[in-house]
Structure 1
Amino acid sequence: MVKVSIMGATGVIGKNVAFTLARADTVDEIVFFAREQSVEKARGETFDMYDALAAEDIDCRLTPSSDYEDLKNSAIVLITAGIPREEGMNRRDLAIPNAKIVDEYAKQIAVHAPDSIILIATNPVDVMTTVAYKSSGFPKSRVIGIGNHLDSLRLKAYFSKHININSSEVHTRVIGEHGDHMVPLLSSTTIGGIPLKYFAKSVDMEVPRLVKRLKKAGNTIISKKGATEYGPAFAISNLISTIITDSHKILTVSNYLEGEIGDIYDVSIGVPAVLSKNGIAMIVPIHMNDFEEHEFRIAANVIKETTDEVLKSLNE
């Protein structure tokens, strides 16, 4: 029996992940964990989803709860709870208030679901990944942030639509910060097996404009509809399904580095990793050109600076 718990399940991302995951029919139970004052809202969400799932003959148990005991035996606990980003806000603006929430939840997960994998979606996700890692005491392979998985999917879609080619032919990846300091690995990007730098010579492709659009994607959506919703939900559900099915796919997630890439230490940052039912099986070595490596180091420094401030605040 596979059980997944979602902390912050009544929020936009949390409930969308729950519904997407339930429809995928790969889990047996989803716990809709919410603060006590929001449990009835969580219960209403489960009633609504049961009606929808019945139309597809899906029997997934949906459990609304505010009791930490209900986290017991979870394979994965997803933390989405936190103050949402509003238009014009930088993800770093959320760091200290959201860290207090993640700190509390990570400690409770360690007590009630000690064998689980913690997946972090709360922003700023790289910083929150370190907070959860430090607060839970879990091995770093079992504390994973959603990192640049969504950014990588977005870039893949941009290239696909721009040149009108099936997205399966586009192989690209974004690393670094899930934020302003993300680093598209253009030097390793291929389209139909052809390196991007050669492919771009034969088509009208404004790569810098696509990268600029990528970095503004979240804020653009927030400015138009108030919140990002479907993209993050599907990206997170994809990560969860990859883990619980033990498929060993390489996805770009945030993990605490101890020198595995570029001699970067003591910071959580987006890197490609092999995901298994036990969490991160391996951090995948990557080749970067000089510019990409420079940008990656800047991203690591920016994240670490914020992380240090947040950890200091939690310890005061």
Structure 2
Amino acid sequence: MGSSLRKVAIVGVGYVGASCAYALINQSICDEIMLIDRTPDRAYAQALDLSHCMDFTHSRTKVYTGTYEQCKDMDIVILCSGATPPNSKNRLDALELAQDIHKPMIKQIMASGFQGVFLAAANPVDLVTYMVWKLSELPRHQVLGTGTSIDSSRLKTLLSNYLPVDPRSVQGYVLGEHGESQFPCWSHVTIGGKPILDILAQHPKRFGHMNLEEIALQTKDAGWEIYSRKGSTHYGIGNALAYITRSILNDDHKVIAVSAILDQEYGQTDLCAGVPAIINRQGVKEIVELNLSPKEKDQFNYSCSVLRQAVQRLSL
């Protein structure tokens, strides 16, 4: 990543890819965005439409279409190409479709000489991130996914409505699979630095209506609530992609819950799951290992077992 310009490629410019590009432009995160799509006309139209934002933004971002062969000079390649199986609430049911899409794609991108950071958003994102790591043969720190970043944001938003506080005053993470086996790590959720479990214990009358199991379920099902009503979720995840991209390009060292390749962290290896990690210019600088409660350890191990079973379905 030696270029003085900050260059990002987005593969797949449907709702998620376009929302990501829009967020990148409005937040002035990068200098160039290259759009790649299996339908060139759509990529061209998105690039043209997005270029018309420039008169109204703080800085100019060059937006253009390209190909896998042009990825060599990109700092980050964001993967948004995916498919959702019909009539399924489980993201893992999209695994075979995701594999068919990403196997030839990653091969072509790596043939270009790309040595930057892969950031995956396509579902099932933990498995897609794992696939990309295996297929690209890049070091594990250069491959990550959005993981439970969006779930953690959904949790904070829900809690902010109950308490009520600004969502940015809520700290905490959803861990494990970005899917059915995810769970909030309640032992590390704080409101303005104060543990939520202490708040609930000290103020039973004021906050006795809060059911943590129900909030966990609402967090898990939030994406489905949106998808079942309008056919896609894209604004939240588009902004999550922009947030992670900015942390990489700015060398921010922010701690974000992402899909990261585990190598002995949390007692897991050769697996990808949603965990908090320090994100910098090189991708994942370090995975943050939280001191989980016995119940949370069981939940994390179960979630990893679900993901490990899905890995067995891959042909890499």
TM-score by length of 1: 0.94
2:29 maps to 26
> Are the equivalent residues in 1 in contact too, given 2:25–2:57 (CA < 8 A)?
no
Deviation at residue 87 of structure 1 after TM alignment? 5.2
Q: Quickly say closer, same or farther: Cα 1:156–1:113, change in 2 above 3 A.
A: farther
1:68 maps to 68
> How many matched pairs?
307
Deviation at residue 85 of structure 1 after TM alignment? 5.3
> Are the equivalent residues in 2 in contact too, given 1:152–1:252 (CA < 8 A)?
yes
Deviation per residue, 1:110-148 (Å, 9 max, x gap):
222432101111110111111101100100100101110
Deviation per residue, 1:185-205 (Å, 9 max, x gap):
101111122111111231322
Match of 2:263 among 244, 258, 280: 258
Deviation at residue 271 of structure 1 after TM alignment? 1.0
Deviation at residue 243 of structure 1 after TM alignment? 0.7
Question: Does residue 245 of structure 1 match 2:250?
Answer: yes
Question: Does residue 14 of structure 1 match 2:20?
Answer: no
The one-letter amino acid paired with 1:42 is: A
Residues in 1 aligned to 2:58 and 2:183: alpha-carbon distance in whole angstroms: 42
> Are the equivalent residues in 1 in contact too, given 2:79–2:120 (CA < 8 A)?
yes
Deviation per residue, 1:15-51 (Å, 9 max, x gap):
110111111112111010112xx11121111111122
2:52 maps to 51
Q: Secondary structure at the match of 2:313?
A: helix
Residues in 1 aligned to 2:47 and 2:270: alpha-carbon distance in whole angstroms: 40
Q: Secondary structure at the match of 2:314?
A: helix
1:1-316 mapped onto 2 (5 Å cutoff): 1-9=5-13, 11-35=14-38, 38-56=39-57, 58-65=59-66, 67-84=67-84, 86=86, 88-201=88-201, 202=203, 203-204=206-207, 205-261=210-266, 263-311=267-315, 314=316
Q: Secondary structure at the match of 1:309?
A: coil
- Please provide the CA RMSD for this pair: 1.4
Residues in 2 aligned to 1:87 and 1:170: alpha-carbon distance in whole angstroms: 34
Q: Quickly say closer, same or farther: Cα 1:256–1:230, change in 2 above 3 A.
A: same
Unaligned 5+ runs, structure 2: none
Residues in 2 aligned to 1:57 and 1:123: alpha-carbon distance in whole angstroms: 32
> Are the equivalent residues in 2 in contact too, given 1:87–1:226 (CA < 8 A)?
no
User: Percent identical across equivalent pairs?
Assistant: 30
Deviation per residue, 1:172-219 (Å, 9 max, x gap):
111100001112110111112211111123132222211110111111
Q: Secondary structure at the match of 2:180?
A: coil
Residues in 1 aligned to 2:160 and 2:87: alpha-carbon distance in whole angstroms: 28
The one-letter amino acid paired with 2:152 is: S
> Are the equivalent residues in 2 in contact too, given 1:86–1:226 (CA < 8 A)?
no
Unaligned 5+ runs, structure 1: none
The one-letter amino acid paired with 1:207 is: L
Q: Quickly say closer, same or farther: Cα 1:113–1:61, change in 2 above 3 A.
A: farther
Deviation at residue 97 of structure 1 after TM alignment? 1.4
Q: Secondary structure at the match of 2:265?
A: coil
> Are the equivalent residues in 2 in contact too, given 1:87–1:223 (CA < 8 A)?
no
TM-score by length of 2: 0.94
The one-letter amino acid paired with 2:183 is: V
